[in-house]
Amino acid sequence: MLKDIRLINDKLIEINKNNPKELKKYLLIKEILKDDNCFLKMDIEYAYSILRDLKFSEEDLKKVYLKLI
């Protein structure tokens, strides 16, 4: 699942390469996702925020989060 999340983030980096504000956000997320245990180490609110930034729907957040941990 984390591999899929990384791919989604890479696609969003490519899409936002001409939007500096969004690009900065996705580059920061890329750094966070380098750690295979990143979702185990962060608060649930922070994890949900990242998943929202990665365009997951509200109804999928819990399901995706549980798969990641």
Would you tell me the crossing angle of helices 20-33 and 44-53 to the nearest 10 degrees? 130
The pLDDT value recorded for residue 61 is: 97
Give me the tens of pLDDT residue by residue for the chain, a chain 69 residues long. 999 999 999 999 999 999 999 999 999 999 999 999 999 999 999 999 999 999 999 999 999 999 999
The pLDDT value recorded for residue 43 is: 96
CA-wise closest residue to 28 among 45, 12, 4, 44:
12
User: Residue 69's CB: how many other CB atoms inside 10 A?
Assistant: 11
The pLDDT value recorded for residue 10 is: 98
Name the pTM for this structure.
0.92
Residue that the structure tokens 């989060």 belong to: 65
